[in-house]
Chain A
Amino acid sequence: DSGVTQTPKHLITATGQRVTLRCSPRSGDLSVYWYQQSLDQGLQFLIQYYNGEERAKGNILERFSAQQFPDLHSELNLSSLELGDSALYFCASSHYGGDSNYGYTFGSGTRLTVV
């Protein structure tokens, strides 16, 4: 157990639908990062939140959004889902907001299948 909790573990939904993925960071970590992992694209950085505020954006689609709540858990919202959104979505956390040299702790991921 890495200490980063992601729910649900699996999600199957239809095209056009909206889903919410949830992440609880490791105790004491203030930063949450969302990554998308697909076979052809590898691990792609989506977005980072630090202590409730958006810190950095990566290759996140406009149909996707995220937020971090006062208790530091984060949610990733995916809307108007397309078949190509099927992937593994990982949440990672770290204590620091700007220094990635210490590495990230990853959750076990949510496998999203859009049918």
Chain B
Amino acid sequence: TQLLEQSPQFLSIQEGENLTVYCNSSSVFSSLQWYRQEPGEGPVLLVTVVTGGEVKKLKRLTFQFGDARKDSSLHITAAQPGDTGLYLCAGVSNTGKLIFGQGTTLQVKP
């Protein structure tokens, strides 16, 4: 069974701080996706990384896919209260389906 472990599970920081969320597995994934979910809503796709070592930037968010395609990280620079939410990584499994990590709940205080 392919599993994705996210850390930390909870993160509470002040506005302006930087943070990194990790998504790790012992399995290889063909791609990894990051979603953000706000209360009362479904997850919204932020980015997909496909190539080992790939780095993608989305404004203040930087996503990286590990060289071995087993892990990924999300780095947020100068976090803002609007970044508050549940961040989920999801891997495309060997059966072609999306497997989600447990999520990281981020709270950014003004």
Q: Which one of A60-68, A73-81, A98-106 is at the interface?
A: A98-106
B99 at the interface (CB under 8 A from A): yes
A35-B100, A42-B101, A106-B35 known; 5 other A-B pairs, CB under 8 Å?
Answer: A45-B99, A90-B42, A90-B43, A100-B97, A101-B31
Q: Which one of B53-61, B64-72, B73-81, B88-96 is at the interface?
A: B88-96
Shortest distance between the CB of A55 and any CB in chain B (Å): 9
A48 at the interface (CB under 8 A from B): yes
What residue in chain B is nearest A109 (Cβ atoms)? B42
Given the known inter-chain contacts A2-B42, A107-B42, A108-B41, please indicate yes or no for A101 contacting B97, CB distance below 8 A. no
Q: Which of B41, B48, B97 touches A103 (beta carbons < 8 Å)?
A: B48
Chain A neighbourhood of B62, CB < 8 A: none
| Chain B residue total in the interface (Cβ 8 A) | 23
Assess whether A100 is in contact with B43, with CB atoms less than 8 Å apart.
Answer: no
B98 at the interface (CB under 8 A from A): yes
Chain B interface, >50% SS class = loop
B33 at the interface (CB under 8 A from A): yes
Q: Which of A45, A58, A92 touches B42 (beta carbons < 8 Å)?
A: A92
Chain A neighbourhood of B96, CB < 8 A: 56, 98-100
Shortest distance between the CB of B10 and any CB in chain A (Å): 12
Taking beta carbons and an 8 Å cutoff, which residues of B are in contact with A?
30-31, 33, 35, 40-45, 48, 50, 88, 92, 95-103
Assess whether B45 is in contact with A105, with CB atoms less than 8 Å apart.
Answer: yes
A12 at the interface (CB under 8 A from B): no
Chain B neighbourhood of A105, CB < 8 A: 45
Assess whether A48 is in contact with B48, with CB atoms less than 8 Å apart.
Answer: no
Shortest distance between the CB of A49 and any CB in chain B (Å): 13
